[in-house]
Amino acid sequence: MTTYSLLSVQTQLVLSGVLFLSALSQFAVCLYRYICTGIIKKCVKEFIVFILLIILISFSVSTRITGGQPIYAINIPWAFFPLLSFVVAFDGITSFILEYKENALRLSSDSVRQTMNGLDSGICFADESGGIVLINRTMNQLIFGLLKQYPRKVESILFAFRKNAEEISDLGSGKNVKVYKLPSGQFWRLSVIPIQESGLNGFTQINAQNVTELHNVNRKLEKENIEIRAAILKMGDMINRMSDLAREQETLNLKMRVHNEIGASLITLSRLANGEIKADAQAQICALEEALSYLSGAKLDSCAIDEEIVAFAKKMGVELKIEGEYPENEEIKGLTVAAIRECITNCVRHAGGDSVNVALSQSGDKYEAVITNSGDLPKSQINEGTGLSTLRKKVEAAGGKMEIKTLPEFALLLKLYERKNTND
């Protein structure tokens, strides 16, 4: 087999050069690993391989002259050189790639710096004297935009905001936290945080966060809250007007009914007196007395039957729950229905509730009604308005009693007694 010593000088130089390049790959891995880790032990293998290859190359090219012919120090198969070069180069490239990947996953000062520079928020650390020891790209750019120079001291950062930005009071301003509006229209929150860690006493952390979006959302919410409050006030006025309209409509219906019944009864009685018609005079007199009872307050609108009071509650947006049965006595039933109607109105107007509960009971000639509602609890003793005062007068005129309780919740209690009619 042809040995390395029998090759031409040019071929030997080429093979030695290739081996030298492969040796350089080992040296490159050794140098890169030391730069990444700073640990010499991890670089020993590549450095030893590099030295051995250099020694091998030096022996392969060293000669001595004997009898006019060059004598080489080594005499090995020539294929050993390209094979060794390939193995060394492959190992060097593989080691370099693995070291690169490990370095990408390894936590180092450079990785910390890259991470900080990738933050959207500005961050800075200063020592006891106020000198900046670490600052990220966002904070640098922010201060440069305000001062046209990069900061070197903490005072430069604070001065940049105080001089070139407008301080505002919302978004969490405090002793160590300030919010500034920059000339660009952005809002930034600046925080100065003393570090209380062992070995770091006296160091300070300065944070700058872009809170422009938060500021805009707060302004939008404030505007919407104002619109909501205005809408609530408008709805309250509408409910009050609806209640007044319902009262006026009820009064008008009552007047029309009384007018029609009295007019019809008087006409019938007049024709009876003149002998124009024949009819039951006593029945007409009873009808007239019934119509007049509306004006005397002894009787309320008896047409407010179950369907009508339920419809009224639905119209006011109130759920009406009734336990028990209405009394058969029309006068007591009218007073009960009027009380329920008044409580429905007050539930919406004063308590802001959406349900009214009615408990009806009867014992002999005594009838009781307990009316409660949902919504806000009374904060003090209730002053009776026009509706409750009128209702109390009519209940007492009918020989009954009305009581209002506020604890533990609002309740209207009616005690009514059936009055027997005696005809002389």
Query: pLDDT value at position 418?
Result: 83
**Average pLDDT rounded to a whole number, residues 175-201:** 83
Domain extents in the chain? 4-106, 116-210, 219-296, 301-424
What's the rounded mean pLDDT across residues 194-202?
Answer: 74
pLDDT of residue 8: 74
pLDDT, tens digit, for every residue of 106-117? 666 666 777 788
Work out the pLDDT band at 304, boundaries 50, 70, 90. very low
The stretch 132-155 carries a mean pLDDT of 88
Q: Which helix (H) or strand (E) holds 193?
A: strand 187-194
- 3-21 per-position pLDDT tens digit: 766 677 788 788 888 889 9
Give Cα separations from 338 to 239, 310, 345, 359, 392 (angstroms): 19, 13, 11, 15, 11
Percent of the chain at pLDDT > 70 equals 76
What letters, b where the CB count within 10 A reaches 16 and e where it falls short, cover 127-154? eeeeebebbbebbbebbeebbeeebeeb
pLDDT at residue 357 tops 90: yes
Q: Give the span between the Cα atoms of 410 and 319, in whole angstroms.
A: 17
Q: Three-state DSSP class for 299? A: coil
Radius of gyration of the chain measured on its C-alpha atoms: 51
Q: Which residue has the higher pLDDT, 258 or 398?
A: 398
Phi/psi of residue 125, each to 5°? -125, 135
Each residue's pLDDT tens digit, 273-294: 666 555 555 555 655 555 555 5
301, pLDDT greater than 50 = no
* C-beta neighbour count of 119 within 10 angstroms: 14
- Mean pLDDT confidence for 65-77: 58
Residue 347 CA to residue 336 CA, distance in Å, equals: 16
Cα–Cα dist 304/278, whole Å: 33
Is it the case that residue 358 has pLDDT exceeding 90?
Answer: yes
What are the φ and ψ backbone dihedral angles of 44, each rounded to 5 degrees?
-65, -45
pLDDT at 371 over 90: yes
Q: Check residue 423 and give its pLDDT.
A: 46
Distance of CA 187 to the CA centre of its chain: 21
Kindly list the distances between the CA atom of residue 281 and the CA atoms of 259, 265, 277, 422, in Å, as whole numbers in the listed order. 19, 10, 11, 18
Summary mean pLDDT of the chain: 79
Report pLDDT digits (tens) over 213-271.
888 888 899 899 999 988 888 887 887 777 677 766 666 666 655 655 565 556 555 65
- Strands of the sheet containing 401-405, edge to edge, are 319-323, 355-363, 366-373, 411-417, 401-405
DSSP, res 418: P
Q: What is the pLDDT of residue 349?
A: 78
Q: In the prediction, which pLDDT does 198 show? A: 65
Q: What is the mean pLDDT of residues 118-147?
A: 88
CA atoms within 13 A on the CB side of 32: 18
Instruction: Please list the residues that pair with 194 across neighbouring strands.
Output: 204
Residue range 383-399: average pLDDT? 84
Q: Per CATH, which fold does 301-424 belong to? A: Heat Shock Protein 90 (3.30.565)
- Locate tokens 């300030």: which residue? 178
144-148, 171-175, 298-302, range with greatest mean pLDDT: 144-148
Neighbouring C-beta atoms of residue 208, cutoff 10 Å: 21
Distance CA 15, CA 79 (A): 9
The DSSP bridge pattern shows strands 401-405 and 411-417 to be: antiparallel
Q: Residue 254 corresponds to which tokens in the numbers above?
A: 């009552």
Supply the pTM of this predicted model: 0.38
CATH class of 116-210: alpha beta
pLDDT of residue 368: 93
Q: What is the pLDDT of residues 88-108, one digit of tens each?
A: 999 989 988 988 888 777 666
For the record, the structure tokens of 30 come out as 């050794």
Tell me the pLDDT tens digit for each residue of 21-35: 999 999 999 998 888
pLDDT for the residue 272 = 60
Span of 40-44, 280-284, 345-349 with lowest mean pLDDT: 280-284
Closest C-alpha among 96, 117, 94 to residue 36: 96
| Cα of 15 vs its chain's centroid, Å | 73
Kindly give the residue spans of alpha helices, DSSP state H, lying in 38-148: 44-61, 80-105, 109-117, 137-147
Give the residue carrying structure tokens 């305000």. Answer: 146
How far is 175 from 393, CA to CA, in rounded Å?
63
What's at 146, amino acid-wise? L
